């Protein structure tokens, strides 16, 4: 009787062991998972994305690209936060991601400074940080894993080189700057100065329009009230501010593109349409479709792979004829 009981227990144990070995997951696995080929399980990567806000058409395209790339179908859970261009809100969002224990944090920094403390907190929590679009100044570069974005200085330089070729005689210019203290505003200004060096251009005024159409219009109205038809050129650091300025220029009885030559940066669909219509004179691209590059980078960093510290997107520039050719297939 005792021998039959022991044999029965042994058989039951063998069946239980065999059943466990055929299951799709091990008892030691953690986190959500999706079934992969051959029945393998893959952990879903939870990512917190701190966006600047929704200040422009470029930003809307950038946000959509990120959401598409960090989809459930691609193996991600995305926690999204747009800070409405308020750095304190953006830093609070990053701290919230840390408290939630995400696998990685992606930040499109509103300004270049003020990031050391929260990035040290992320590092202490062993959560890698990837910068998207904009750059920052930090005391220790190891506080972030990598950066993906556009070359803002080169964009500004390209715009400045066009201005230099266009200003064949003394030219008065006004500038619509981006968000004060942001990497694109600082770098585009530096690049434009380098590209236009030696040109007979006098800057009458330079003021932030916060990368928005509304502020671009308001600031341009102020420029026109003060300087009137003395203004011969406008450098808008993004399309949206330039588009806002068009309304102010037209309302002042001037013809944009003729009375005032306009160069902008972004190359959104609306910006290229204004160029094709002859209202802008030249547009430099800033590619917003960074999602695929960023998501690929996140996967590698979370897996412990080494990655380049910086990755630069490819940008173009457009004349009127080139804008007309590009518009039918423009994605943003």
Per-domain residue ranges of the chain: 42-150+288-314, 152-286
Give the fold, CATH level 3, of 152-286: Rossmann fold (3.40.50)
Considering the domain 42-150+288-314, what is its CATH architecture?
Answer: 3-Layer(aba) Sandwich (3.40)
Q: Give, as one character, the DSSP assignment of residue 103.
A: S
One fold for both 42-150+288-314 and 152-286? Answer: yes
Using the CB atoms, write b or e for 132-171: b if 16+ within 10 Å.
bbbbbebeeeebbbbbbbbbbbbbbbbbbbbbbebbeeeb
Phi, psi (deg, nearest 5) at residue 305: -80, 150
**Alpha helices (H) in 55-134, listed in sequence order:** 57-69, 87-100, 116-124
> What pLDDT sits at residue 331?
83
> What pLDDT sits at residue 176?
98
> What pLDDT sits at residue 216?
98
Instruction: Inform me whether the pLDDT recorded for 141 exceeds 50.
Output: yes
291: closest CA among 132, 53, 145, 56? Answer: 132
- pLDDT one-digit tens code per residue, 222-252: 999 999 999 999 999 999 999 999 999 999 9
In angstroms, the CA 293 to CA 133 distance is 11
- pLDDT one-digit tens code per residue, 168-196: 999 999 999 999 999 999 999 999 999 99
Tokens of 113: 């400074």
Q: Give, as one character, the DSSP assignment of residue 252.
A: T
200: closest CA among 177, 248, 232, 223? Answer: 232
């Amino acid at each position: 009787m005792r021998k039959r009981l022991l044999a029965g227990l042994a058989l039951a144990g063998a069946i239980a062991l065999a059943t466990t070995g055929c299951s799709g997951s091990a008892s030691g696995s953690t986190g959500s998972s999706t079934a992969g080929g051959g029945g393998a399980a893959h952990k879903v990567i939870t990512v917190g994305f701190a966006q600047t806000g929704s200040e422009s058409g470029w930003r809307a395209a950038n946000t959509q690209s990120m959401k598409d790339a960090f989809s459930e179908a691609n193996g991600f859970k995305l926690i999204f936060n747009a800070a409405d261009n308020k750095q304190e809100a953006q830093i609070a969002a990053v701290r919230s991601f840390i408290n939630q224990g995400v696998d990685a944090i992606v930040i499109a920094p509103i300004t270049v400074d003020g990031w050391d403390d929260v990035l040290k907190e992320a590092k202490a929590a062993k959560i890698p940080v990837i910068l998207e679009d904009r750059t920052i100044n930090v005391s220790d570069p190891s506080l972030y894993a990598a950066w993906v974005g556009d070359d803002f200085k080169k964009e500004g330089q390209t715009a400045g080189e066009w201005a230099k070729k266009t200003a064949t005689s003394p030219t008065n210019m006004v500038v619509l700057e981006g968000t004060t203290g942001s990497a694109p505003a600082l770098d585009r200004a530096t690049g434009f100065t380098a590209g236009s060096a030696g040109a007979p251009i006098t800057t009458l005024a330079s003021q932030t329009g916060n990368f928005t159409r509304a502020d671009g219009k308001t600031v341009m109205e102020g420029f026109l009230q003060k300087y009137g038809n003395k203004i011969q050129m406008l450098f808008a650091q993004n399309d949206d501010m330039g588009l806002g300025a068009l309304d102010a220029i037209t309302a002042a009885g001037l013809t944009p593109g003729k009375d005032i030559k306009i160069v902008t940066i972004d190359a959104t669909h609306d910006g290229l349409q204004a160029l094709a219509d002859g209202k802008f004179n030249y547009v430099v691209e800033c590619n917003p479709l960074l999602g695929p590059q960023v998501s690929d980078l996140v996967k590698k960093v979370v897996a412990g792979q080494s990655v380049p510290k910086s990755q630069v997107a490819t940008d173009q520039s457009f004349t009127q004829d080139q804008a007309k050719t590009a518009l039918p297939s423009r994605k943003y």
